[in-house]
Amino acid sequence: MKETINMKKQGSNKRALWKNIALIAVGGVVAIGLLSAFQSKGDGDLFLKIHRGIDVFGKVYREVAANYVDDVDPDRFMRAGIDGMLKTLDPYTVYLGEKESDEIDLVTSGKYGGIGVTIGLRDGIITVISPIEGFSAAKQGIQPGDRVIEVEGKNVKTMSLEDVRVLVRGAPGTTVHMKIDRDGEPKPLEFVFIREEIPVRNVSYAGFVEDGIGMVRLDRFSRTAGDDVRNAVKELKAKGTLRGLILDIRDNPGGLLDVAVDVVSKFVPESSLVVSTRGRRSDSERKYYSIEKPMAPDVPLAVLVDRGSASASEIVAGAIQDLDRGVIVGTRTFGKGLVQTITRLSENSSLKITSGRYYTPSGRSIQEIDYFHRTKDGVVTIKPDSLRQEYRTAHNRRVLEGGGIVPDSTVLEEPYSKLFEELNRKAMFFKYANQYAAQNKTLPANFEVTDAILKDFEKFLKEKEFSYQEESEIKLRELRQLADKSRYGKSFYEGLDKVSKSIDTEKERAFERYNKELSATLKVEIVSRIKGEKAGVEASFADDPQLKAAVSLLKNKPVYSVLLKGGSKK
């Protein structure tokens, strides 16, 4: 029986093998057709190298898949070969299988079929972060903090977050069965949800930070982002006089290039150059211009950025900076100045390939890492600031290439303590907020985290057996290990013991030392849970130094003008 099963498996593998070899052959024919263009241009050497490469790759694939000592899954082996080749390039050139292609469709279409719920990892468990109002999950009573046990009868304990998302999503109108574990419930709860068309939310907040100062928080650049920004600004203008506007693109990883151009078009003069792209060929340059009249041309503008602002976010920040339309506030952005295009390879697979670099209106590339000129050991390089080329904005202000977008006003965030990092990593703020919300259905308008709440939080952590190590404890342990190796004397260890006791004393007063950041985070979590996400965002304003700096600049017209003022052009 065992031998028969193996034979069936081998037969199946060989059928898959010959199917893939056929694909390679087809790919080779297509490549030869394309390569003839290279050859006709006198690039015969390149043609021969690619032709030999295809031939060798096909032979290695066939020999290993057919004759290796153990069974080889031809599809997985093919994927490994493709991934291996692409890893020699840059991290953005990738092969997209069926699962990844779904994510591309989500970004390009701006919607997906789902139940209207945001899930994430909390303490290593797939957990409901927030249900989206008006959709199946919220209507049927899913709550933040619910832990997902099963989806469609499949235990999700060992699944990745992405695999669970794929299981939950599907065609609108279809059903999905889920089993949920909830605090306070004696046994798991079972739900049957109806999938609906869920629009991707690009703007997570639009409102007034202070009198006359509006803010729009843009989280991503899916297909509808431009329309969402337009509607948000319209709402702000309808609610009151707009004397200043903040566009928050912190932690926005980017999206579609033409959508970034659409967003910039809401703020800069019509027909302004927003971005240009250039690829390998000399005739590949494309220029993108703003395509409409700006919505608030005379309203002072500040753009909030940080290290998590990348790609399309940097196109927006770079255009606003180079055209001197507004001030950039925060910290240096990620530095991704590469453009990707997606080519469909088959019904279920695509290739996302870096096809060019993009350049801001001043002509600078903001790409930080040079993936294309590695050291002999294969290590990528970063150009130091001293070697970066200088460019000029519309008002002749000095800006530099590479390394992302450097803010006009740099405002650093407070570094997180080890206690805060561990509380966040183990989802303790999240879990306590769920418990607090279960016990308190309403909050006063002027809610603040009191000493009593902090004490209750501390008690909660003890019940959950939360523990962590201070950085000083880690360093002390390393020092003790070095002392052991070096055979230090008794007096040295006595000194270490004294330091250890001092650390323990300081650790006991950790809540006192980090009172401000703990209170601020608890406040946002609790308010979000009881009053909703928008109220939670507003609760964070008081403890956001970058936002405060942006508001201050917009209210101080002389300082704002000086930041955007350049020198005379020679």
Geometric angle at alpha carbon 524, from 550 and 132, rounded to 5°: 100
Verify whether residue 204 is a known catalytic residue.
no
Which string of DSSP letters, residue by residue, matches 27-71?
HHHHHHHHHHHHHHTT-HHHHHHHHHHHHHHHHHHHHHHHHSSS-
Residue from 322, 324, 408, 544 carrying the catalytic annotation: 322
Q: Cα–Cα distances in Å, from 229 out to 108, 202, 245, 248, 463?
A: 17, 8, 12, 11, 45
- How many whole angstroms separate alpha carbon 292 and alpha carbon 272? 10
Q: Enumerate the β-bridge partners of residue 94.
A: 352
The answer to whether 115 touches 195, Cβ cutoff 8 Å, is: yes
- How many whole angstroms separate alpha carbon 440 and alpha carbon 259? 42
The answer to whether 263 touches 221, Cβ cutoff 8 Å, is: yes
133 CB-contact burial (10 Å; exposed 0-12 / middle 13-18 / buried 19+): exposed
**Residue 13 is encoded by which pair of tokens?**
């593998």
Residue written as token pair 């001030």: 327
Q: Enumerate the β-bridge partners of residue 218.
A: 203
Residue from 101, 130, 136, 311 carrying the catalytic annotation: 311
User: CA torsion sign, 62 to 64 to 68 to 73?
Assistant: negative
Instruction: Compute how many other C-beta atoms are within 10 angstroms of the C-beta atom of residue 512.
Output: 10
- How many whole angstroms separate alpha carbon 82 and alpha carbon 95? 7
**Residue 324 is encoded by which pair of tokens?**
């001197």
Verify whether residue 322 is a known catalytic residue.
yes
The answer to whether 304 touches 247, Cβ cutoff 8 Å, is: yes
Residue from 179, 266, 336, 352 carrying the catalytic annotation: 336
Residue 440 makes CB contacts below 8 A (sequence gap 6+) with 530
Which residues belong to the active site?
Answer: 311, 322, 336
